[in-house]
Each structure stands twice: as C-alpha cells, then as structure tokens.
Structure 1
Amino acid sequence: MASSRDRQRKLARAKLDRQMARRAARVRRRRQIQAGVGVAVVLALIVVGSAWGLGAFDRDPAENSAAEDVCLWTPQDAAANTNLKDVGTPATTGLPTEGVRTMTVVTNQGAPVTAELDVASAPCAVASISHLASRSFYDNTKCHEITTEGAVRCGDPSGTGLGGPAYSFYDENVPTAAPSPSASPAPGQPATYPKGTVAMIGSAPGANGSQFLVFFKDFTTADPKYSIIGRVTSGLETIEKIGKLPTVDNGSGAKVKPKDDDVVVQSLTVTEPAPSPAATPTTTASATPAASPSAG
C-alpha cells in the first residue's frame, strides 16, 4: 500500500510540476508580448514626433492659401431694417489677396475722384465694394454726411447712416492708436488717417457694409475705428470742395448734413485686377450691371 501511495504522490507531483511549468511559460510569453508592444509604441511615438517636427502633418500650402482667401459675410435682416438693400453677397473663396484696384467716383460736385484700393490690406472690403459696384449699388446715392473728423461719408442708398447691403463684414486694416488724441500729430508722427485716406465705416463699429469715408484733411485719434482700404490718387480737390459746404443738423443733433447742395454719387466703378499681357483688356466691375433685387 505504501508503495502505491508513494507512486500516486509522485504522479501528482509530476502533474503539478507540468502545470506550473506551463503557467510559467504563459507568463513569460505574456511579458514578452507586453514588452514588444511597449517597444513598438515607443518607436511609433518617436517616428510620429520626428515626422511632426519635420512638418509631415502640415497642410498643403495651397490649402492654407485657400483658407486665407475666405471672407465671412454676416447676413443682416433686410426685413427688420428697411434701410438695407439686398443685392446678394460676394464670393467667399478665390478672392484676390494682392495688388490694387482702382475705384472711380463721379459726383455732381466736380472732377471724378479716383482712389487706389489696397487688396492686400483689405481684401474683403475691396471684394465687397467691387461686388456692390457691379450691381450699381452706389449709383445715384447721396453722401449724407460731412463728418466733424474731416471726411465725406458716402455709400448709403437710404441716406440715413443706417443703410447698406444685407450683409456685413469685419474690420481688416485699422491703424494702431496714436500716442495722444491731439488733432495735430507730434512732429514726425503721421496722422492716423491722412488726407486722402479712404476707409470703411459701419453703422455699428466693426460691422462694415457699403459706407465709406474719404478724408479731406488729416485726422489723428487715440481710438482708431475705421478700416483703411485705400487712398485718393486724383480728384482730391472735389473732396476738399465738399468738405467746405455748409452743414445743418441731421436730426440727431449733429450739424453734419450738407445744407444747400445734395452731394450725389452719380456712379461708382471698380476696375478688375490688371491682367497679364496675354490676357484680355481690363474691364470695370460695373460695365454690365446686373438688375438690383428689390430692397428687403
């Protein structure tokens, strides 16, 4: 009997040893797999970090350029504000971002006023004015204000200061604040808005639409609010003449409305960008005006 029991104990011991050996082998394999996975993860992180540092995940330059070309046109409620005129919106992509365009304003006050619009500094403002000009938006509208800052304010078909298109857009090229609010800059310091500057003005600050200012004298301020979009290149004498017209109260307590003579913008055109020598001749944006939708 003792011999039989001993044999059973040996068999049981051998079975236990085999089980322990298999369990130890599984543990070793698991640890090897985990170690391999850890090494793989570390190597992957090293590779990804190196690729990131070398710019492998940067977007294609063309994609970046396209994103920068987008202008945001914020819809305005033409039904709630009857001073607004809905003529659609400009494109949002593929807009020019360099070069200049020429804006020509013909008024009933003298020689045409020509201004050079800076596309690089204010691409959205230039795109908007070009779009509106192509729809004859500005034609036969009044410059309703001669501001106390020394500028002629135009571009509102309603003549109220509250009108514009059925969209707005943000500021683009607002100058930095002057050291002091003095009307006369310190020697050697340029004016915030030099004479001849063309700038956008919104019916609410930062909400630009169609209204613009043309300065007939230097204006310096510690709180610039207007986006500069260009400068007058000829016809500044016409703006200076308008600036000398007598003014009356415009209904809000400000004596800024031309008193006797209506200042009428008879037409406003914007040239397309100059073509390459092999391209077709330049045409104006308003050469073939589209029919204007009825005001909202």
Structure 2
Amino acid sequence: MSTNRDRQRAAARARLEREMGVRAEQSRLRRRRNTTIAAGAGALIVLLAAAWVVVAVTSGDDKTEAGASPSSSATPTSCEWLPLVDPSASASVDPELAKNTKDVGKPPTTGEARTGTQTMTLDTSVGTIKIEVDTAHAPCAAESFTYLASKKFFDDSVCHRLVLQSVYVLQCGDPFGTGYGGPSYRYAEENLPTGKRPAYGEGVVAMANNGNPASTGSQFFIVYKDIAQLDPNYTVIGRVTEGLDLVKKVADAGVVAEPSADPSTPPSEGKPKTEVRIKSLTMSAPTP
C-alpha cells in the first residue's frame, strides 16, 4: 500500500512531467515556426552542409540550426557568388545536387546597382504581381534576380508552397517546383529586418534559405498576412505593390492534402490548390 508521502511524490512527479511536456511542445512549435520557410528552400543543401560548411561558416560549426541568424544584416560591399558545394570537398558531383540545380551561370562579380529600386513583374496564371525591389539595401539579391530573369530562369515555374498557419507565405522561385531546386550558386543574406515588429509584415517579399549562413538562392516568399513571430533571418528584397489580392485569393482556396494526411484535419501547408504558374519574371532597370 502506498503511503501519503509516496502519493505526494507521485503527484509532484506527474506535475513535473506535464510541465516538461508543455515546454517540449512549445519548443517544438517554436522550432517549426522558425524553420517553415527554411524547409522548402534548402533541404538538399542541408544534406550537403558538411561538404561546404568550411566555405560558409568561419566558426567551423556545422550544426547551425534553421532560425539562427545566418548573417549580418549589413549590406555587403560586394557580391560573392559561392558554389553550392566546396569544389575541393569531393572529386565527383552529387547526382541529387545536379538533378535539382538549374545551371545558367553566375551573375557578374562587379557592377551591380546599389541605389534606388527596381520593379519585378511576375506574369502568372492568376494575374500580374508587381514587386518594388529595394536595390539600395538588397543589391546582391536584386542583381541575382536581374541576372536569372535575363536567363528566363523563373519562366514556366510554379509557386510550390503555401503556408496557412503561423507563417503566411506563398513560396516560389524553384524552377523545378519541388522545393529543392535553385541556381548553381548561393550568396550571403542581406537587409535583414532586425528589430522590426513584425519582421515580415503583409506584402513583404523575402528570400528563403536553409538556415545556414550564405544559403540564399532563387527561392522567395510573398507574405500575404502579418507574421507575428518569425526570426529576421531572411533577406527582405522588397514589397508587393500590385497583386497581393491575388495571393490572398490563392491562400483562401487552401492547399492540396497529402495522400497520407488525416482527412478530418485540413492541411496547413503544401502545394496550393490554385496553381500559381509564373509565365515570366522580368526586372526593370534601377531607378533613383
């Protein structure tokens, strides 16, 4: 027979276990929120992180978590287009990396615009979306978009991911539409919204990354509703000036449920039910 003291200890232990369970769940939700953007942008590069971490991280820590600050928010004085994998790390090209890379070369190493703004125009299957790109504060991202647009990199690609809870974004920029694709280079983050609340408000357009330093590629996301909490780890390239209502309509239509999903629970993220196909993406010349 248990004593009163035994019962008190058991009750205390049960309370502690409940508290630990709540804290673990809160931690899980926090990690999920801060990695939602990162997951679709760089899963393949994460698998290869050990190969190129010597290039990307001078501290030597190859366990940087998604959501940790990947870079300083200061505008870089020059744009460095890094290889996806350190060429000295392996004698052969990983076939998975090659399969998810659309190699159209790299932007010029000098001469990028560093003043004014540019207009990015997305001619999509749901209508025209225009974005004012902050060339002055995100010159490398602007130069990358300008270069890739000139190569028709984004043409006939789909926006592959829509998130409906906590992080309200439509994610695009993968030429393969899988969430793993991108160009043959990566570059450092810039123009991070440190100190801003919310960091990513309605209408903001930012670059996805995989949570590691200098892991920005071609994938970007459009914020269609204020995100209350999202770490400022993603380069802000500008703001939607036309067509945000189209993105909201896509969000209202929901996402496609995975075959293994519980039919009684509506999915909170996945492929948009309303396909958003980018027919063409163009960039204007910089204006003062």
TM-score norm. by structure 1 comes to 0.61
Q: Partner of 2:256: helix, strand, or coil? A: strand
Out of 115, 118, 124, which is 2:134 matched to?
Answer: 118
Question: Contact between 2:117 and 2:132, CA under 8 Å: does it hold in 1?
Answer: yes
Q: 1:220 Cα deviation (Å)?
A: 2.6
2:271 aligns with 258
Give the direction of change, closer, same or farther, for the CA distance of 1:124–1:197 in structure 2 (3 Å limit): same
CA deviation profile, 1:230-260 (whole Å, cap 9, x unmatched): 0011111111112212213468977422354
Give the direction of change, closer, same or farther, for the CA distance of 1:241–1:134 in structure 2 (3 Å limit): same
User: 1:69, 1:248 → 2: CA distance?
Assistant: 43
| Equivalences, count | 196
User: 1:252, 1:200 → 2: CA distance?
Assistant: 30
Give the direction of change, closer, same or farther, for the CA distance of 1:223–1:197 in structure 2 (3 Å limit): same
Quick check: 1:216 aligned with 2:233?
Answer: no
2:7 aligns with none
Question: Contact between 2:199 and 2:231, CA under 8 Å: does it hold in 1?
Answer: no
Q: After superposition, where does 1:71-86 map in structure 2 within 5 Å?
A: 71-76=79-84, 79-80=94-95, 81=97, 82-86=99-103
User: 2:147, 2:268 → 1: CA distance?
Assistant: 32
1:289 aligns with none
Q: 1:98 Cα deviation (Å)?
A: 0.9
| Aligned AA (1:157) | P
Give the direction of change, closer, same or farther, for the CA distance of 1:274–1:98 in structure 2 (3 Å limit): closer
Larger Rg: 1
Q: 1:162 Cα deviation (Å)?
A: 1.1
Question: Contact between 1:133 and 1:269, CA under 8 Å: does it hold in 2?
Answer: yes
Q: After superposition, where does 1:163-182 map in structure 2 within 5 Å?
A: 163-177=181-195
Q: 1:262 Cα deviation (Å)?
A: 2.1
Q: 1:203 Cα deviation (Å)?
A: 4.0
Quick check: 1:201 aligned with 2:208?
Answer: yes
1:100 aligns with 117
| Aligned AA (1:199) | A
Question: Contact between 1:177 and 1:223, CA under 8 Å: does it hold in 2?
Answer: no
CA deviation profile, 1:58-107 (whole Å, cap 9, x unmatched): xxxxxxxxxx6520111125754111110000011121111101000111
Quick check: 1:146 aligned with 2:162?
Answer: yes
2:179 aligns with 161
User: 2:136, 2:101 → 1: CA distance?
Assistant: 28
User: 1:215, 1:241 → 2: CA distance?
Assistant: 13
Q: After superposition, where does 1:1-296 map in structure 2 within 5 Å?
A: 69-76=77-84, 79-80=94-95, 81=97, 82-110=99-127, 112-147=128-163, 148=165, 149-177=167-195, 190-206=197-213, 207-221=215-229, 223-249=231-257, 255-258=268-271, 260-274=273-287
Q: Partner of 2:188: helix, strand, or coil? A: coil
User: 1:191, 1:104 → 2: CA distance?
Assistant: 25
Structure 1's unaligned 5+ residue stretches are 1-67, 179-189, 276-296
User: 2:211, 2:260 → 1: CA distance?
Assistant: 16
Identity score, percent: 40
Q: 1:274 Cα deviation (Å)?
A: 3.7
